[in-house]
Amino acid sequence: MKDRRERVDISKVDDELTRRDLLRRAALGGIVLVYGGTGAKTAVAGVPKFRHRQHAGTLRIIQWSHFVPAYDRWFDDVYVKRWGDANDTEVRVDHVNLAELPSRAASEVAAQSGHDLFQFLSPPAAYEDRVIALNDVVQQVERKVGKISRVGRRSTYNPRTRKYFGFADNYVPDPVHYRADLWSEVGLRPTTWENIRRAAPRLKAMGNPIGIGMSNELDSNMALIALLQCFGAYIQSPDARITIRSKGTRDALNFMRDLYRRGMTSEVFAWTASSNNDAFLAGRLSLALNAISIARSAEQRNLRFNRDIRILPIPDGPGPRMGLEHVMGVYVIWKFAQNKRAAKKFLVDIGTQYTGHFLNSYFYNFPAFPGSVKRIPARLRRNTSYPNEVPGRYPILDQISKKWTTNVGHPGYSNAAIDEVFNKFIIPQMFARVARGDMSADEAMRAAHREMTPIFRKWRARRKI
Amino acid sequence: MRRRDSVLTYATVAPFAIVLAFPFYWMLMTALRADNDLYDIEQVPYKFNAGSPTSANFRFLFEQTDYRQWLQNTALVGLAVVVITLVLALPAGYALARLSGRAGQSLGVGIFLTYLVPPTLLFLPLSRVIAELNLSDRLWSLILVYPSFTVPFSIWLLMGFFKTIPPELEDAALVDGASRLGALARVVFPLSIPGILTVVIFTFSLVVNEFVYAITFISSSEVKTISAGVPTELIRGDVFYWGALMAATLIPAIPLALLYNLFLNRFIAGFTGGAFR
Amino acid sequence: MATVARATPEDRRWQDVLEERRFLGPLLIAPAVLFIVALVGLPLGLAIYLSLTDATAGSLTGDFVGFQNYLDAWDSENFRVALRNTIVFTLVSQAIVLVGAGLLAHALVRNFRGRWFFRFLILLPWAAPVALSTVGFLWIFHSLYSVVNWTLIHDILPGGGEFYPYRAVNWAFARDFWPAAIQISPIEPIDPPQWLGEPTLAKAAIIAVHAWRILPFATVIFIAGLASMPPEIEDAAKVDGATGLRKFWYVTLPLQLPIATVALLFGIVFTATDMTVVYVLTHGGPFNSTHVLTTWAFDTGINSAALGQGAAISLYLLPALALVAILMLRFARRVEVT
C-alpha cells in the first residue's frame, strides 16, 4: 500500500483522498451513491472552496436571477471578482428566482443567519427593524456623485423613523411598448390614454388587442397603479392615509372597463408576469406596459416586427402624467450580518460607479443615483453589443426615468402598508371586478378600501407609517 | 365474455392513460422545439416545423446550468432520507402494531396527525434550527428535515403492514431461542418487504416533490435540488424558458415512473402471493 | 476470558430489558417520536405562538395580541373566499380521484396486453416533481399558446376536413336549454376560453391538476387493496351468483372501504395542505377568486411580511383536518375489525 502510494504523483493522491473522504462520508450517512461521480462530494460537504489565494474577509450576496443572463455572468465573474481582489474579500453571489426572494428573506431573518447583502426587488419596508440603517452609506455616495433620485429615496427612506432601511442601487423603468406598424394603420400613437381608447376597437378587430394585465402579478400591479396616477388617483396621501376612494379612481376604473370591452380580451385576467411578454412577442398584442425585456427579447429572437416595436413614456391622462418603476433593486444589510463593514463598502462602491451595471444589463438597470453613470443620454444613443439591437430605440428611457418614473405609494413613500396592498393584489382585483362587470366602480372602490383599512391601521400602530 | 371483458378494460384504461400522460407528451413536444417554432402562433403545435426537433433545450440544461448536479443532489437526498426514514419508522411501526389496546392506535393516529402540518407553517422556525446546527446551504439540512414528513406517514403505513403478520411467527422464533430483536430482524422484517418497498417509493416521491424547504434552506446553485434549481435558472424575471423547463420536468419523471412501475409489480405480487393475509 | 465473565451480568441485564415488552416497545418508538417532536412539534408550537402575536418580517417573536389575528383574518373577504375554495377544491378533486382510481384499479388488476406500459403512463404524474409539472400545466393553459385552445379553435381533421371542435362545443353547450351552471357563452376563436383567467374555469383547472397528480397514488393504493382481497371471497360471490354491479356493491365495495378511506385521507391531506398548484397556476387570481388558505397565508405572512397573521390563516385549517383525519382513521379501523 505504502509502496504504491510513493509511486503515484501528487494529484492522484489528492484525488484518492477525496474519493476516500467521500466514501467515508457516504458510509457515515448510510448513503448509497447511485450516481457517484465527483459532484457528490461538493453536494454533501457543502460549497467547494476555491484554491486560489485566500482573502482576509468574506462577503455573501444574494440577488435575483437577472432577466439578462449575461449580466449575472458579468456581475459574478468579473465585477465581484475585481471588487474582491481590490478589497481583499472573498465574495460569493447566490441567485434565486425573483418570486422566491420574500420567503428567502423571511427564513434568513428567522434563522438569524444568511447573506451579508440581500437584494430585494421591491422596497422591503416591513423589514426595517431587521436591518441596519444605511443613512451613512447613502450620504457617502451622495457626497461623491450627487443626490439620490426621488424614486430611490421614496422607496428606501422612512420619514417617520428617519431611516434608510435599504440602499437602492438601481430601478428599472416601465415604458409602454407598442407596435408602430399596427398603430399606423389606425393613424394614432399611444401618447395619451384617450388615444389608446380610441384606437383599441380597431386594433382588436385587426386581431391585435391592447394588453394591460388585470391579474395577480407584478406587471398588472404596476400598470394599473400607474393608470390610477394618470387619473389623479392614489392609494395613499403623502402622510400615508388611504385615499383610494376618489373621483380619480372611479374615472380610472370606468375608463379601464371601457377599454377592456372595446379593445382587450379576457386573456388579461389569466396572466402571469411573463404572459404579456409572450403575447407581445407572438405578435398578438398592439400595446403592453413592461420593462424593456419585451424589446430585448424581440431583438434576441430577431422577430420580423422587431423594428416596429417602439417605446414611449406612460401615456398622458386627465391627471398628472406619472408612471412607475418596474422593479427596484434594494440592498439591505441584516442586523446579524457577519461582515457589515465590507457590505457597506460594497454598496458605496456600487452606488458611486454604476456604469458597468448599466451597460452590462443592456440599459435594463438604471442607476438610483443618477450621477453615478455619466452621460446617460449619450450612452443610450450608442449601440451595444446586443444582437439585432434597433438603433434609436432606447434614448427615450432617459426622459422616462427622469421625468415620468415614481415609486409605488406616490405621493407618499413606499412603506410597509403599501407593500402589503401590493402583494395582496388589491388594485388588480379592484380593476378586474369592474372590468368584468361584477361590481360597479363605487362598489369595487369601497371593497378595496375595506381591505386596505386594517393593513394601514396595523402598520400605523407599529409606528412604521 | 372474455373478449367483452378485455374491450372493457382497454376502454377504461386508455382514456385515463391518455389524460394522465398527455401533459408529458406535450412537455416532450415543447422541449424538442426550437424557440422560433415554439413561439410562432401560426404554426401547428402538434408537428415539428422549421428548426425542430432540436436538442437545444436539453443541451442548454446540461451545459449552461447545474442541472446534472441538481439531479444528483435530489437522488442523494432522496436515498439518505429513505434510509433515515426506515431506521426510524420500522421499529416504531412494529412496536405500535404490537402494542395492545387503544394506546398503540391512539399514538399511531397522533403521529399521523403531525403529517397534516404544512411546510409553509414550519419552514421559518426550522430555518432557525438549521442555522443553529450550522447546516444552512448544505444538503444535510434537507436530509435532516425531510424525514419530519416522511416518518409519520411511514410509521403509520408500516403499522398496518405489521398487523397483518401474525405474532405467532415471532413466538415460534422465540421458542427457537432467538431474542426479540433477533426475531424482529430475521422473521418480521423480511416478511414486510412489500411494506418497506411502499415506504421507499412514497418517501422518495415526497422528497422529489418537496419545494418549500428546498428553496429556503439552500441558496447556492451547486447544492440545490431540482425543484429549487430549475425555477432559479429557467424563470428569469418575466421570461420563462418554456422549452428548457419542460425538458427539466421530463428528465426526472420518466426514469422515476419506470422505477416505480418496476417496484410496484413486486410489492403487489409480494403481498398477494404471501402466505399470510 | 476474565473480562467477558465480568461483563456478563451487565449484558444479561440489558438483554432482559430488551426482552421485556414494557421496555422494548417504548425503546423502539422513542427515536421516531423524539424526532417528530423536535422537528414538527416544537416548530408547530412556535407557529401557534406566532399566530397569537403581531410578529412581522421573519421575526420569531412579537407582542402578544390574543386572537386578534384570527379575528382580522376572518374579517377579510379574501380569507373567506380562500377558506371556501380550500374546501371545494379538496372535496371535488377527491371525488373525481375516488371514482377514477376505483375504475382504474379494477381494470389494472386484470391481465391484459400492454398493462405494464399503461401503468407506466398512469404513474407518470406521480413521478414528476409537482412544482415543475404545475409549470407544465401553466404552459398547457397558457393564455396564448394553450394547446387546449389551439385544438379547440383549429380545424383538426387532416386535409381540410373542416372540423372545428369549438363549434361542436358551442353546439352542445351554448344553448338556453341548459341551466346556467352548465350553459356556456359561445366560444369565439379570437377570444378562446381563458382557463386561468375566468374564475369558474380557473377553479376547474386547479381541481383538474389536483386530481391529475393524486390519481396515480390513489390508484396504487386501490390496486394494493384489491390484490390483497382473498380469492375465496371472490369464489364465494361467484357461487352465490353475484356478478357485475351487485358483486361490486355487496362484496367488493365493503371490502374496499378501509383502503378507499386511506386513499381519500391522503388525497385530502395532499390537496388541502398544498400550496404549489394554486400559487403557480393562478397565484390566487383572477382577482383573488382562487386563493386557498395556504396561498393566502403565504401572501399575507411571507410576501406581505405580516407573519403573525399568516400563521393564523394557516392554522385555521389544522383543527378541521385533524378532525377529518381522526374520524377517517377510526372509521377505517372499525370497518377493518368487523
- Min distance C68 CA to chain A CA atoms (Å): 11
Residues C265/B160, Cβ–Cβ less than 8 Å? no
CA atoms within 13 A on the CB side of A113: 16
Which one, of C206, C312, C328, C331, lies nearest residue C268 by Cα? Answer: C328
CB < 8 Å from C in window 171-210 of A: 207
Helical pair C68-75 and C77-108, crossing angle rounded to 10 deg: 80
ipTM: 0.85
Could you tell me which residues are beta bridge partners of residue A60? Answer: A92
Written as nine digits, the cell of C215 is 390519481
Q: CB within 8 A of A43, min separation 6: which ones?
A: B69, B72, B73, B76, B139, B222, B223
Q: Which residue of C has its CA nearest to B117?
A: C318
Nearest CA in chain C to B204: C127
Question: Does C286 sit behind a cis peptide bond, omega within 30 degrees of 0 on the bond before it?
Answer: yes
pLDDT in tens, B50-75: 777 888 888 888 888 889 999 999 99
Considering only alpha carbons, which residue of chain A is nearest residue B65? A69
Chain A residues within 8 A of C285 when measuring between CB atoms: 215-217, 269-270, 425, 428, 432
Q: Mean pLDDT of residues grouped by 10 in chain C (338 residues)?
A: 47 58 77 86 86 79 79 84 92 91 86 87 90 90 85 76 81 80 76 84 92 90 74 68 68 72 85 88 84 88 82 87 84 58
Nearest-10 crossing angle of helices C199-227, B2-31: 130
Question: Which pLDDT does position C97 carry in this prediction?
Answer: 92
Nearest to C59 among A109, A416, A436 (CB): A109
Q: Does A111 touch chain B (CB under 8 A)?
A: yes
Give, for A416, the enclosing helix (H) or strand (E).
helix A416-423
C-alpha cell at A5: 502510494
Residues of A in contact with C53 (CB under 8 A): none
Q: Give the A window 32-51 contacts with C, CB below 8 Å.
A: none
Q: Say what the pLDDT of residue C15 is.
A: 58
Please tell me which of the candidates C77, C198, C301 has its beta carbon nearest to residue A269: C198
Please give the pLDDT value at position A198.
Answer: 92
The rounded distance, in Å, linking the Cα atoms of A428 and A436 is 12
Nearest residue of A to residue C307, measured between CA atoms: A106
Is A429's Cβ below 8 Å from some Cβ in C? yes
Say which residue the cell 406616490 belongs to.
A410
Instruction: Please indicate if any CB of chain C lies within 8 Å of the CB of B32.
Output: no
Q: Strand A366-367 relative to strand A167-173: parallel, antiparallel, unpaired? A: antiparallel
Residue in B with minimal Cα distance to A118: B219
Q: Which residues in chain A land under pLDDT 70? A: 1-53
- Interface contact C202-A207, CB threshold 8 A: no
- Band (pLDDT 50/70/90 cuts) for residue B271 is very low
Chain B nearest C-alpha distance from C224 (Å)? 6
A322 vs A317: CA distance, rounded Å: 9
Q: Would the CB atoms of B151 and C35 count as touching at under 8 Å?
A: yes
Distance of CA C23 to the CA centre of its chain: 38
In the three-class reduction of DSSP (H, G, I as helix; E, B as strand; rest coil), residue B78 is classed as: helix
Binding partners of B (≥3 Cβ pairs within 8 A) = A, C
**What helix, strand, coil percent values describe chain C, rounded to 5?**
70, 0, 25
C40 touches chain B (CB under 8 A): yes
Per-residue pLDDT at B273 exceeds 70: no
pTM: 0.83
The whole-number pLDDT of residue C3 equals 44
Model pLDDT, residue A128: 87
Query: What percent of chain B is predicted at pLDDT more than 70?
Result: 93
Interchain proximity B223–A34, CB inside 8 Å:
no
Q: What is the DSSP string of B229-252?
A: HHHHHHEETTEE-HHHHHHHHHHH
Report the pLDDT value the prediction gives residue B197, as an integer from 0 to 100: 82
What pLDDT digit, counting tens, does each position of B108-141 carry?
778 888 888 888 888 888 888 888 888 888 889 9
Does the CB of B235 have a partner CB in chain A at under 8 Å? yes
Given this model, what pLDDT does residue A27 score? Answer: 40
Residues of C in contact with B13 (CB under 8 A): 104, 107-108, 112, 118, 122
**Cα dihedral angle (C125, C131, C132, C136), rounded to 10 degrees?**
70
Task: Determine the Cα–Cα distance for residues A13 and A6; give it in Å rounded to an integer.
Answer: 9
**Separation CA C195–CA C202 (nearest Å):** 5
Distance (Å) from the C-alpha of residue B230 to the closest C-alpha of chain A? 9
CA of A418: which chain C residue's CA is closest? C304
Provide the residue count of chain A.
465
Inform me whether the C-beta atom of residue B89 falls under 8 Å from chain C C-beta atoms: yes
Angle at CA of residue A107, ends A104 and A113, nearest 5°: 105
